[in-house]
Structure 1
Amino acid sequence: MTGPLSPETPPIGGRYKISGWINAGGMQHVYLAEDQLFGRVVALKTPKDDTGARRFTQSAIVSAKVNHTNVAKTLDYLEAAGGRAVLIEELVEGADLETVLAGGLPYLPPMTVARLLHQLAKGLAASHHVKVVHRDLKPSNIMIVGGWKFEQAKITDFGIAKMAEQEIGAWADSQGNTQSKTVLGAIPYMSPESVENFRRYDMPSDVWSIAAIAYRLLSGEPPFGGGLSSVARILQAVPPPPPIHLAPVQFRGLGGQLHSIILKCLNKDPRARPTAAQLVTECETLCYSMVPYELGTISRTNGATGFIRADGGSDLMYYTGNFYGRQRKIEEGQRVWFQRGPGHPNDRAFPIVQLLPPVPRPA
């Protein structure tokens, strides 16, 4: 392996010119690059070390088998100077789900979770159809087109799933402590059978993982807690209760349907869980909107109602009962995230989430 890539790096493969650095995952660096042959912008990924490099070739072949709108497409694989493995992937204009949540969204309303779960199930069903298992599904491996607008979800990093398997598998075999970001980020979404023996991770474990993600989105917390402390509860797999945020009547119907579907996917017996294709069918019974979300500021309060000034400049009316989650005092100047519905003389905001200060991401 050589040093970091930069805009001064000669075009990789005589074709991919580095434009800048995007971010780093647990096992890879991600760069912005221009495909000078086809005149398009792509995501260029390289492993952080030689251990990862040994897995990149096989992983690139596996991930390239999946072709679906809810999966970030693998476009190319090559080796750069010094034997550096390079994976070229579709560039998703947005941010990963973990980053979007850390930007101030403590949880998401059922309408958004239903949309995301449906899209993730479709992407997963496409991968399972060609016998590709992800093995490392977690919020940081889900890209959200449009960021906080939640236009579309795409599963990514099928290409590093095998590398994650090596690191997580080593921890699972030892049952020891770890500082690995890959392991700590994956544990809350791991199935009981994969915690017991990571070599048993198969398609039902992927289904468990996206259900655990959906529960975290609804409630603000993973179904069995976070970090190493969640392992014992995952192994017990006691069905998690409905999130308290679903109590208001306007969220109860769809939220209850979602919770029921999630519990089916969190069945301790992997044989009793729906397949990804069956989960798609379950999600087709859910009613949700595809309207993009907006950001705004509380501009006027008046008891149970008030107004939001959207960042685009228009005023919307709100009702306090349309806020999702643990409601704090509604005050002028407070930032909110919402979906727009028609109304007269002002559009209506529903659902609404009060934004929290952004959560710093660990380096």
Structure 2
Amino acid sequence: MLIRGQRVNAGLVVDRRLGEGAFAEVYRVRHHILGWQALKLFKHVASLEATSRMLDEARILSTLGHPNIIRVFDAGTVQTSEGMRGYITMEYVAGGSLERLVASHSGMVPVGEVTAVLRQAAEGLAVAHERQHPIVHRDLSLANLLITYDESGLRVKVSDFGLAKETDPGTMAASAQGTVAYMPPEVLRRGKGYSCAGDVWALGTIAYFLLTNHFPYNGGDPVQSFSLERFNRPLLPPSAFNDDVGPELDRQVTDMLRIDPDDRPATAREVAERAAALRPSTGVSRPRHGPPVVEGSVEGLIQAAIALSRVPGRLADAANQLEEAISRHPRIRERHMARLMTWRRGVVM
């Protein structure tokens, strides 16, 4: 709905489209002072009232300042090829989503990275869960957990609170929303509202998928993969698919996926504390096969990023370009991570 070079307002110009979902398109835009940002453009907004409702995401996120929650900068409306539409702008994350991380590893993600994702995502969610009237996300998935790399290493950003809302102080639950693959059984089967325990379930589903390349309670039958019948089967622990998963991580993920929400960790804070206490896995690592050398096209991206880093004022852009290459091709991570972290500190090497 937007084109390259289109001016959104006095400070923002569209660069390129990053992707889209059912409710919105996402673009990379450049702010004349703040640099790259991501713009989320809502697809189906036909009135000012509807725009206001869609922009509730910006209002919620602006109250949840935390390193593991995506920052929102602005909200408004813009003229598009389909008419006036609402948008929000937020920080641009060059590393992309967990979907890209899974694709870059061709399946199971290394246990150390999964543990970091679990802990940091839980720390971001805990800020929302610990409000006087808890805010539940209701739509956690691989697509809306973003990853970036800063001077400390891997950084997870919880994004897309578009379905989040403050829970009713009487029922402490919110109406059922979200993506079926990540929705807890009490919402799908029992018709209950979504609670903090539902977010814990969704985060457990994400961790399980990263470790196994399977969704939990999935017996392999495509017809019944997301049916309610699957909850009648026992849950195979992640270690049944992945020898690298140790017993403590096994227990944590399976506890997050208990059918009864009262048996799960009550909030994301407990999840974060348990993840932080995890010891390194004692499992036997399986060899990862693949080409040992970096493809020429990737090497070209790296060299272009290095050249860009030497241009005055373009170090942040160079870091974003290098980060995108690393996120798509994990085999170059060890070789170039020190360079990226140095660039994030504002130092050229």
Say whether the fold is shared (TM-score over 0.5).
yes
Q: 1:267 aligns with which of 247, 258, 281?
A: 258
Amino acid at match of 1:215: Y
- Residues 59 and 159 in structure 1, CA contact (< 8 A), matched pair in contact too: yes
1:1-363 correspondence runs (5 A): 4-12=1-9, 14-36=10-32, 38-50=33-45, 53=51, 55-81=53-79, 83-130=84-131, 131-146=134-149, 151-161=154-164, 186-196=179-189, 200-225=193-218, 229-233=225-229, 235-236=231-232, 238-247=234-243, 251-252=244-245, 255-274=246-265, 275-287=267-279, 308-309=292-293, 337=331
- Residues 187 and 227 in structure 1, CA contact (< 8 A), matched pair in contact too: no
Amino acid at match of 2:251: S
Q: Deviations over 1:87-108 (max 9, x none)?
A: 0111112111112323452111
- Residues 143 and 156 in structure 1, CA contact (< 8 A), matched pair in contact too: yes
Q: Deviations over 1:149-204 (max 9, x none)?
A: x8222111113546xxxxxx99x7xxxxxxxxx97xx2221101121366601111
Structure 2 CA distance for aligned equivalents of residues 339 and 161 of structure 1: 34
Q: What is the Cα deviation at residue 128 of structure 1? A: 1.5
Structure 1 CA distance for aligned equivalents of residues 192 and 13 of structure 2: 38
Q: What is the Cα deviation at residue 259 of structure 1? A: 1.2
Q: Secondary structure at the match of 2:197?
A: helix
Gaps of 5+ in 2: 166-173, 282-287, 300-328, 336-349
Amino acid at match of 2:41: T
Partner of 2:346: none
Partner of 2:338: none
1:84 to 1:210, Cα distance in 2 relative to 1, 3 A:
same
Partner of 1:316: none
Q: Secondary structure at the match of 1:268?
A: coil
Q: Deviations over 1:214-260 (max 9, x none)?
A: 0111111011237873232454373333433443xxx35xx221110
Structure 1 CA distance for aligned equivalents of residues 160 and 223 of structure 2: 21
Q: Number of residue pairs matched?
A: 276
Q: What is the Cα deviation at residue 33 of structure 1? A: 1.0
Structure 2 CA distance for aligned equivalents of residues 48 and 198 of structure 1: 29
1:29 to 1:278, Cα distance in 2 relative to 1, 3 A:
same
- Give the RMSD, CA atoms, in angstroms: 3.4
Which runs of at least 4 in structure 1 moved beyond 6 Å after TM superposition?
A: 310-313
Partner of 2:168: none
Gaps of 5+ in 1: 163-168, 173-181, 290-295, 300-307, 314-334, 342-363
- Residues 36 and 92 in structure 2, CA contact (< 8 A), matched pair in contact too: yes
Structure 2 CA distance for aligned equivalents of residues 245 and 236 of structure 1: 20
Amino acid at match of 1:238: P
- Residues 96 and 142 in structure 1, CA contact (< 8 A), matched pair in contact too: yes
1:108 to 1:56, Cα distance in 2 relative to 1, 3 A:
same
TM-score (normalised: structure 2):
0.69
TM-score (normalised: structure 1):
0.66
Structure 1 CA distance for aligned equivalents of residues 268 and 236 of structure 2: 21
